[in-house]
A = this chain, B = another copy of it.
């Protein structure tokens, strides 16, 4: 069976277009009555970043409409045939034929609804392997290779966050390399730093994100991630690998400390504050990469959405200047 693929981006649809394509269901609204029977509304999205309202105008057989409705959940991928019209100044897709709406299984379509990487993934991965290779302590290097080799593509394809910064395929890898760059600058400025330890910590600090985030038709938090958090999931992952490692105890503990303290403060979710120089550097390097990226993406996303010069940013709790 041929798989469905994506052809039309929502952002390019206009009145009168005929739609025959696949979308992600972003929001599913409740079913209701109208003059000819029952209807429901979906908000559809795709990786273009746009979204469009979809109306299913069913007939008076409530059970049948309800049956279709029940198949759909938020995050469903649907194939949709219909026509784009304009209502109250906004575009919408309308349809009344049950054959023109279908919920797809994951093996029925071939499409990535997650935004693609911003830098070349292979190049980034080569850089990352080079960083591992530059670690002088052989036991440490072995541990890192062991961890990253067993991850395969998983690490390189993973996003770094759900929203705003590094929320694209390869985002985790890109963020990790940015943190490493700030660490390298630190090693250059402060030769007292243990480069092996610092680079290893930078490589591993967000490894728990592999289990905290999942990418189906969108990036979302896992149940495990909500319950335990990427910081602790990373600890479990690395502690397990350390069991068979011949690294000396102090180094093992310092490595775990780098992960456990990388949010810097208890109120940011680190059960321990940084207790040596490498941990302090890793905390601020992580901040620099994520905060700088966050503001830059925020400005990009919002500067065309408003005529105002600035917009309030909740997490930073200040207005951000957009010009």
What is the distance, in angstroms, from A307's C-beta to the closest C-beta of chain B? 7
Bound: A266/B317 CA distance, A: 11
Distance (Å) between the CB of A209 and the closest chain B CB?
14
A254 surroundings in chain B (CB, below 8 A): 227
* A309 cross-chain contacts in B, Cβ below 8 A: 223
Min CB gap A169→B, angstroms: 18
Q: Which of A237-270 contact B (CB under 8 A)?
A: 239-240, 243, 249-250, 253-254, 256-257, 260, 263, 266-270
| Cβ contacts A to B, 19 pairs, < 8 Å | A32-B88, A33-B86, A34-B88, A181-B189, A226-B272, A228-B253, A228-B257, A229-B260, A229-B271, A239-B240, A240-B240, A263-B271, A266-B268, A273-B318, A274-B295, A275-B320, A281-B292, A284-B292, A285-B288
Q: How many positions in chain A have a CB within 8 Å of any CB in the partner chain?
A: 80
B residues less than 8 Å from A276 (CB atoms):
295, 299, 320-321
- With a cutoff of 8 Å between Cβ atoms, the chain B residues found around residue A231 in the complex are 271
Residues of A in contact with B (beta carbons under 8 Å apart): 30-34, 73-74, 86-90, 178, 181-182, 184-186, 188-190, 192-193, 223-224, 226-229, 231-232, 235-236, 239-240, 243, 249-250, 253-254, 256-257, 260, 263, 266-277, 280-281, 284-285, 287-289, 291-293, 295-296, 299-300, 307, 309-310, 316-321, 323
Instruction: Give every chain B residue within 8 A of A232 (Cβ-Cβ).
Output: 232, 235, 256, 260, 271-272
Given the complex, which residues of B lie within 8 Å of A293, measured CB to CB? 190
- Is B89 a contact of A30 with CB atoms below 8 Å? yes
Residue numbers in B under 8 Å from A34 (CB-CB): 88
Cβ of B319 and Cβ of A226 under 8 Å apart?
yes
Contact call A182/B227, Cβ cutoff below 8 A: no
Closest 8 CB pairs of A and B: A32-B89, A227-B257, A273-B318, A284-B288, A269-B271, A277-B295, A236-B239, A267-B267
Q: Bound complex: CA of A185 vs CA of B310, how far in Å?
A: 27
Q: Which residue of chain B has the shortest Cβ distance to A86 in the bound complex?
A: B33
